Homo-oligomer: A and B are copies of this chain.
Amino acid sequence: MHYGVNYTPSHGWFFTWLNPDWASVEKDFEQIVSLGLDHVRIFPLWPLLQPNRAYINEKAVSDVAQMVHLAGLHGLNVYVDVIQGHLSSYDFVPTWLVSWHDTNMFTDEKAIQAQAHLVKTVYEACEKEKNFSGLTLGNECNQFTDISHPHRHPATAGQIQNWLEALLSPMEKKAHEQGRILVHSENDAVWYEENHAFTPRFAAQLGDVTTIHSWVFNGVAKKYGPLSFESTKHARYLMDLSLAYSDNPQRQVWLQEAGSPLNVMTAGQAPEFCSQTVRAALSHPQAYGVTWWCSHDVSSQMADFPNVEYSLGLFDEHGQLKEVGKAYRDTIARCRDEFEYDENSKQNHDDHHSTTALVVPTRHGEPVMRAAQAAGGSVFTTWMNIAKQGEMPQIISSEKAHDARYCSSRGIHDLVEVQLEAGDAYEAVSDPSLAEKKSQQ
């Protein structure tokens, strides 16, 4: 099991990459280690790594390796995201993809080749560090395809599959030989948004583990309340939902992002939300780990972030551990004891994992109606209602529900059919104030 945090540098936010203050970075790592965490996920900036399609900035690449190295000195493993891409409402797209050179990062063959080359370059720069644990293609690159994006990179699902495979495949053999993981990451539009080009099947089948980004400012907290069962089990639900789309019954699921967003809860509610969310996720038998968003608050000196982004840290801008940080630390400590990985079953221990599974209607391995999976939708509601009784149900696709061997391999004995009904509460855009601002322009 892996316990970690998404690393947001305390000094200069991700702009620290422009001129890394390594002493400050090491201090940040010390603080992170003090919480009992074992890893960080880090985010270099794409325009610094690859300022021209054919030119990789070696200094920026070596800075990534250096950050991995320093984390290792403090006992932290590191997962590196390559294509940023998108961070906290800001898009970082190299100049060779925009304006006069506008092209589509997902479908332009030369752009795809360049990104694959960058993935390989960053991987190889880090591989000498023992604590380099794996690589994520990038942070929620799927946002660029989304219909709500102000400057879309539209793509079909087939084109996205091609993009994912083009970036993952070249490194798979080496990563597996080295015991490292290669994954990709998306926000919840994958699970909830009709016609979104990144699909549940890609999320659950491509890459070595499935990554989940759970943010209850997606309508769940507003509809049910921030400390409701629905909100605090949202991450866990997504983990279970994702398994419906995997052919591998043992597929592991990484809660790669979850946070306590203060646009839908008070600071006083944040610690409890954190504890319950993390506990529910870590108790999942197939949990790979959890990585909280984020380590350090964004400095109030930085302008124009959506308000919610300033206060997601475990540490505040003065370096003080916040209540949510203590809650995360303490929850992790308890979960380490309670949900110890069982070498025999190859699973984490969980008393609450049900042998009942919801059957979600699928076609060609994809959901028939993603909106039914979203807040207020029938899949979501049925799962929550059963889970409230005490055992969290599994979820299985209609195309696999009658495969006895597969069901058995997942420990599924009972099936609950679900009639599809769309949810009414999903909000696709992470920060309503930005969406509103855009719509007024």
Contact = CB atoms under 8 A, between A and B. Distances in A.
Nearest to A303: B54
A89 interface: yes
Given A91-B99, A92-B95, A99-B91, A60 B304 contact: no
Contacts of A93: 99
B60 A89 contact: no
A15 B100 contact: no
A302 interface: yes
Given A91-B95, A92-B95, A95-B90, A51 B100 contact: no
Contacts of A92: 95
Contacts of A47: 47
A434 interface: yes
Interface in A43-63: 47-48, 51-55, 57-60
B101 A151 contact: no
Contacts of A90: 95-96, 99-101
Kindly name the residue among A13, A15, A304 whose own CB sees the greatest number of chain B CB atoms within 10 A.
A304
A438 interface: yes
- Report how many copies the assembly holds: 2
Contact of A99 (B12, B55, B100, B150): B150
Given A98-B91, A100-B91, A438-B100, A303 B51 contact: no
A15 B434 CA distance: 31
Interface in A280-305: 301-304
Closest 4 CB pairs of A and B: A54-B303, A19-B59, A91-B99, A53-B303
23 contacts: A12-B57, A13-B52, A15-B57, A18-B59, A18-B60, A19-B57, A19-B59, A52-B303, A54-B301, A54-B304, A89-B100, A90-B96, A90-B99, A90-B100, A91-B98, A92-B95, A96-B304, A99-B150, A100-B434, A100-B438, A101-B304, A102-B151, A102-B441
